[in-house]
Chains A and B, each alone.
Chain A
Amino acid sequence: MGTTLPFLRLLTSEELKQIDQTGRRILERIGIRILDGDVLKRLKDEGAQVDYDDQRVRFEGGWLDQVVNRAPPSFVLYSRDGKNDLHLGEGNVYFGNGGRVFRVLDMATGGYRLTKLMDVGNTASLVHNLDNLRFYIIACQAHDIKPVNYHLLDFYYALNHTTKHVMGGCTDLHGAEQMWKLASIIAGGEDIFREKPFVSIITNTVSPLTIEANTLEIIDFCANRGIPVTCAPAPIAGATSPATLAGTLSQLHAEALAGVALAQVLAPGAKVLYGAVPTIMDLRKMDFTLGSVEMAMMNASAVQLAKLYNLPIYASAGVTEAKRPDIQAGFEKTVSCLTVAMTGADYIHLAAGMLDSANSISYEQYVIDNEIIGMINRVLSGINVNEDTMAFDVIERVGPGGNFITDDHTIDHMTDEFFYPNLSVRSNFDIWEERGKQNMLSQAYTRVREILEDGTDGLLDHDTIAEIKRAFPGSRLIW
């Protein structure tokens, strides 16, 4: 195809420069509060300006550039079967789901319930089977398991139900260690996992301008074992960052660059994604709002900021405030996914399954979002213009008054020019009535049942499972 991203830029190059400079001024003058004495020392040794009294690190411009420059501009987030390797930093846009919700909408009862470990397996199966979702983020909290083996189990359930790249957060270093040991066994060895990591780790800064010791320990552990990381700021405009979008972007930029810089100090050359989860408060009643149009605009702008530094971005889109898969869900998701995708974001998370300001998921919403993303991917692939596609010869051959239906050219292109939705109703009225007046939700419900009836068996082989059991003796595991 002849078209290339970005199709959209919300900031002019002058505006982009101003926000970048403000972000750098925040790092240089205000600095980041780092709640880890060991890391403060390592930063000082590397040449950062460290104020131990108020635990503040200030990033002088030249030093910042030198450290951030160690980050690779492109790298691969691997899948286990090689079918969904994600080449970040190469002009691709990948969509996937988002994580750590606590409620699921149960279509069978129409009510909500707390999420369980089986929901991790089920959502991983859904993502595994939905072509437009290219990576899996551990979707929800498992209320039915104890903290001690929490991340051993949630990563195990994820990896047992999809071969796509798995990303997740860890509560503490112990969880990250369990994840690494588990993934190394599945990979067939620590070195193999280091070479082709099929798991990556999400950490977050605490806005405004704070990074916890726990977060830094996890980054240190993972980045030094070749595991890609992001340290994603999630400033909320009007609450944990200024009410203005430009102000929130400036702060986000400072926090995101600090995350990248810290990872490069702890593990030079670490595979790191510039992180962005900017949102807003609805100031009328202080409702935290992930599904806002401003969230879409700020994420799209964050892509421009990340690209200024040639860094792949972990961006956010596709969230809604709606509590059910309804009209509001459809348009809030579409507006943000399309806006962010058109700026050329490498990795767009939260884009599937989410409802209720990312507090809830719905299985049906996964398949609906897969369809929305299919349409967006079609936009991204652009209009293919060449002699063959302009089809002068075909138009001449068919001539005035003819039709193109059975022409070779039609058959040659019928599968490469059009996006064919799986769920959208396209039949004529009578056929639609005959088939029981389907709608998006009824179609999605059926599709979910098909996937889960086929897909709930695990993907890991018996030998691997036996080895995992041996590696974690005495742990009461729910296999």
Chain B
Amino acid sequence: MSEFKALIEAVTKGDISKAVAETQKAIDAGGFIQAIIDEGLIAAMDEVGDNFSKGTIFVPQMLRSAKTMQECMKLLEPLLKEGDTSSKGKVIIGTVKGDLHDIGKNLVAMMMEGAGFTVTDLGVDVSPEKFVQKAQEVEPDIVAISALLSTTMPAMPQTIEALQKAGIRDKVKVIIGGAPVTAKYAQEIKADSYGADAGSAVTEAKKLMGIS
């Protein structure tokens, strides 16, 4: 049995205050920060992922657990030594220029955070220039672009082009998604990947990072 049993239980239940208290307890006991993350938080989220795949929990519960993990990470991050990693990768995400829809994009952001990615959410109506500027600033591994409308979809290739022109296209992986978007379209505009729904977006992101 893991020494983080109570922490794992609190995270899987999405009990934020209990999980934060357990994290603090583990820190005070002098545990390795990396161990608290790997054997506590990540182990809990793996269990949550399994339960979700089996259909025993619903999306709100999974996202709630993800949120719980983020709150715990706020205590742990300042204590991380150089070389320790808390993240499976950095992601910037946004809905394209001209498009104000954010439900799907928010879901993807939350689920990626839950899976251990560090996510910077750029919001909605994000211009290609803004994507480029943030990509330069954050140096993400993945740029995630969302669109709900067929009329705003052309902003996706424009964004990819802008990354190209700024000379950072080969430093990032681009994943796209949204109701009218298809795998074929992703190929056409030379995105690296495509997420059919929030769950698949996370799976695809992990594949892009070479983890599973």
What is the interface of chain A, defined by CB distance below 8 A to chain B? 403, 405-407, 410-411, 414-415, 427-428, 430-431, 434
Contacts and interface: CB of A to CB of B under 8 A. Distances in A.
B183 A406 contact: no
A428 B197 contact: yes
Contacts of A403: 103, 106
A405 B196 contact: no
Contacts of B59: 405
B200 A405 contact: no
A405 B183 contact: no
A470 B179 CA distance: 66
Nearest to A433: B196
A400 B106 CA distance: 15
Interface residues of B, number: 18
B154 to A, nearest CB: 21
A415 B60 CA distance: 11
Q: Is the interface of A mostly helix, strand, loop or mixed?
A: loop
Given A405-B59, A411-B14, A414-B60, A434 B110 contact: no
Contact of B63 (A406, A415, A431): A406
8 contacts: A405-B63, A405-B106, A405-B110, A406-B60, A427-B197, A430-B183, A430-B200, A434-B196
Interface string B79-123: 000000000000000000000000100110010000000000000
B10 to A, nearest CB: 15
A411 B64 CA distance: 9
Of the listed residues A406, A410, A411, the one surrounded by the most CB atoms of chain B closer than 10 A to its CB is A406
Given A403-B103, A405-B110, A430-B183, 5 more contacts: A403-B106, A406-B63, A414-B58, A428-B197, A431-B197
A375 B49 CA distance: 29
Top 5 closest pairs, chain A to chain B, by CB:
A430-B196, A406-B64, A406-B63, A410-B60, A411-B60
Contacts of A414: 58, 60
Contacts of A428: 179, 196-197
B182 A430 contact: yes
A405 B107 contact: yes
Interface in B55-75: 58-61, 63-64, 67
A40 to B, nearest CB: 62
Contacts of B14: 406, 411
B200 A431 contact: yes
Given A405-B107, A406-B67, A431 B60 contact: no
Interface in B1-28: 14
Contacts of B110: 405-406
Contacts of B61: 411
Contacts of B103: 403
Contacts of A434: 196
Interface in B166-207: 179, 182-183, 196-197, 200
Contacts of A430: 182-183, 196-197, 200
Nearest to A403: B106
A431 B106 contact: no
Interface string B143-174: 00000000000000000000000000000000
Contacts of B179: 428
A431 B194 CA distance: 12
Nearest to B107: A405
Nearest to B196: A430
B75 to A, nearest CB: 20
Nearest to A404: B60
A427 B63 CA distance: 19
